[in-house]
Amino acid sequence: MIDVLISGGGPAGLATAIRCAQAGLAVTVAEPRPTPIDKACGEGLMPAAVRRLAAIGVCPAGHVIGGIRYLDDRHSVDAPVANGTGLGVRRTVLHAALALRAAALGVEVIPARVAGFTQDVKSVRALLAPNAPGPPASFAARYLVGADGLHSAVRKAAALDPAPARRRDGGRRRYGLRRHYQLAPWTDLVEVHWTGDCEAYVTPVADDEIGIAVLGAPGAGNLDARLAAFPGLLERVRSARAVSSSDDRGAGPLRQDVRRRAAGRVLLIGDAAGYLDALTGEGIGAALAQAEVLAACLAAGRPGDYERAWRRVTRKERVLTGGLLWSRQQRLLGPRIVPAAAALPAVFAAIVNQVAWA
Ligand SMILES: Cc1cc2nc3c(=O)[nH]c(=O)nc-3n(C[C@H](O)[C@H](O)[C@H](O)COP(=O)(O)OP(=O)(O)OC[C@H]3O[C@@H](n4cnc5c(N)ncnc54)[C@H](O)[C@@H]3O)c2cc1C
């Protein structure tokens, strides 16, 4: 029996695998999709995320991010990074780098989906549905980690989803879509273009490529229809080749409330552990921080400590993203976010640097 089986080989799952392997635990990942895995994402890594990746020996190629710019049709305000630099990284590049590091540490990846589990006081037995035709197999481990994303099957099987009546999105569900353009970035800032009910995030990911992710309510149509709400941005990319338009990717609903992070020997991490929104672009950094504390709890044989550690390392992000999302969704407050940031650029820069990017 191995120590840890991880369901999902995205950034959260692979970072946890790397941390566990570095702590001397025997770890296996079950992931049905082949490497490198792509996903709808803004692909911006904050300085703290870049540092956390370097700490586990992962240094992917990308484009330096020097800060963030908020824009609407009348205002523009920049918050340069005061300490360190961020990185725009294609998801496929990030995934390949994480997978390479995990393999170098002896982490095995099984091409299978975790379809359920049973557990007793000493172990968890997961049901694996293999990619190839054939019967499901069972796999025993001391712990099972659910790192299987927004719609986590492990979370569902562990009954850690809240009852529908206790969901807190107020019916205002948000989704994300993304596309890449072959175009030299015109700035090293991540641009966040704000309009009525959605935002467009522009991230430089290479010297000749940018990614655009649009977040907003459902029903606004496909990505082209959504981009029409941003005429200035559309003008910039009009003559550029859309390198992934046949492969526009979406994700959502983004908000996933979760009752708690553990049920016995089953623990959740990353988007599976609960997610608010991509508004502050912190998902990967948060997953890396969670991986560090989760691996420490498992290595110490103290899974019961994880919930408190998770709350501690995600508190800042939950407060910031929750506050911004709430403001965004208020009829009077939402349209005033960019004007307020433009009126108080030093405060905006301080919030970005002290709270979001530290
Ligand atoms: C539009 C958008 C923009 C975003 N922008 C940013 C940004 O700029 N910066 C940032 O840091 N974050 C951003 N995020 C958030 C970020 O993408 C996520 O937080 C991050 O991908 C979470 O990683 P994860 O490993 O938890 O989940 P995922 O990346 O979703 O990985 C989950 C993995 O689990 C696998 N899986 C699913 N089900 C099973 C199963 N039953 N068994 C086994 N494996 C399974 C999947 O194949 C997948 O590989 C954005 C998100 C969206 C939607």
Pocket lining: 190 vs ligand 1, CB cutoff 6 Å: no
Query: How much is the average pLDDT of 95-117?
Result: 97
Centroid of ligand 1 to alpha carbon of 130 (angstroms)? 21
Pocket lining: 204 vs ligand 1, CB cutoff 6 Å: no
Residue of minimum CA distance from atom 15 in ligand 1: 283
Please tell me the predicted confidence (pLDDT) of residue 355: 67
| Among the four given CATH numbers 1.10.3470.10, 3.40.50.1580, 3.40.630.30, 3.50.50.60, the one describing domain 2-61+91-169+253-335 | 3.50.50.60
Q: How far apart are CA 75 and CA 60, in angstroms?
A: 34
In this structure, what token pair is assigned to residue 32? Answer: 């049905």
Q: In what order do the strands lie in the sheet with 86-88?
A: 44-45, 86-88, 63-65
CA dist list (Å): 322 to 262, 314, 319: 22, 12, 5
Pocket lining: 46 vs ligand 1, CB cutoff 6 Å: no
Residues 6+ apart with CB under 8 A from 37: 9, 10, 31, 91, 92, 95
DSSP, res 135: -
Residue of minimum CA distance from atom 44 in ligand 1: 8
Q: Answer yes or no: is pLDDT of 219 > 90.
A: no
Backbone angles phi, psi at 272, to 5 degrees: -65, -25
Q: How far apart are CA 218 and CA 38, in angstroms?
A: 22
Pocket lining: 251 vs ligand 1, CB cutoff 6 Å: yes
Please tell me the predicted confidence (pLDDT) of residue 37: 95
Centroid of ligand 1 to alpha carbon of 179 (angstroms)? 16
Please tell me the predicted confidence (pLDDT) of residue 80: 92
Q: 216 near 174, Cβ under 8 Å?
A: yes
DSSP, res 256: B
**pLDDT-derived band at 172, boundaries 50, 70, 90:** confident
pTM of the entire predicted model: 0.95
Query: How much is the average pLDDT of 268-281?
Result: 94
Q: Answer yes or no: is pLDDT of 25 > 70.
A: yes
Q: How far apart are CA 349 and CA 67, in angstroms?
A: 9
Query: How much is the average pLDDT of 306-315?
Result: 97
Please tell me the predicted confidence (pLDDT) of residue 86: 94
Averaged pLDDT of the chain: 93
Please tell me the predicted confidence (pLDDT) of residue 75: 96
Sign of CA dihedral 334, 338, 342, 346: positive
**pLDDT-derived band at 246, boundaries 50, 70, 90:** low
Please tell me the predicted confidence (pLDDT) of residue 167: 60
**pLDDT-derived band at 163, boundaries 50, 70, 90:** confident
Q: How far apart are CA 333 and CA 142, in angstroms?
A: 48
- Tell me which of 7, 19, 35, 39 to substitute to probe ligand 1's pocket, judged by most ligand atoms within 8 Å of the beta carbon: 39
Q: How far apart are CA 297 and CA 309, in angstroms?
A: 9
Pocket lining: 113 vs ligand 1, CB cutoff 6 Å: yes
Atom of ligand 1 nearest to the CA of 43: 8
Please give the share of the chain, as a percent, with pLDDT higher than 70: 96
Please tell me the predicted confidence (pLDDT) of residue 318: 92
> Pick the residue with more confidence: 144 or 226?
144
Please tell me the predicted confidence (pLDDT) of residue 356: 63
Q: Answer yes or no: is pLDDT of 245 > 60.
A: no
Report domain extents, the chain: 2-61+91-169+253-335
CA dist list (Å): 165 to 170, 197, 276: 10, 25, 17
pLDDT in tens, 331-345: 899 999 999 999 999
Residues 6+ apart with CB under 8 A from 89: 43, 45, 60, 61, 62, 63, 205
Q: Answer yes or no: is pLDDT of 46 > 70.
A: yes
Backbone angles phi, psi at 190, to 5 degrees: -80, 120
Atom of ligand 1 nearest to the CA of 284: 11
Pocket lining: 29 vs ligand 1, CB cutoff 6 Å: no
Pocket lining: 15 vs ligand 1, CB cutoff 6 Å: no
Q: Answer yes or no: is pLDDT of 128 > 60.
A: yes
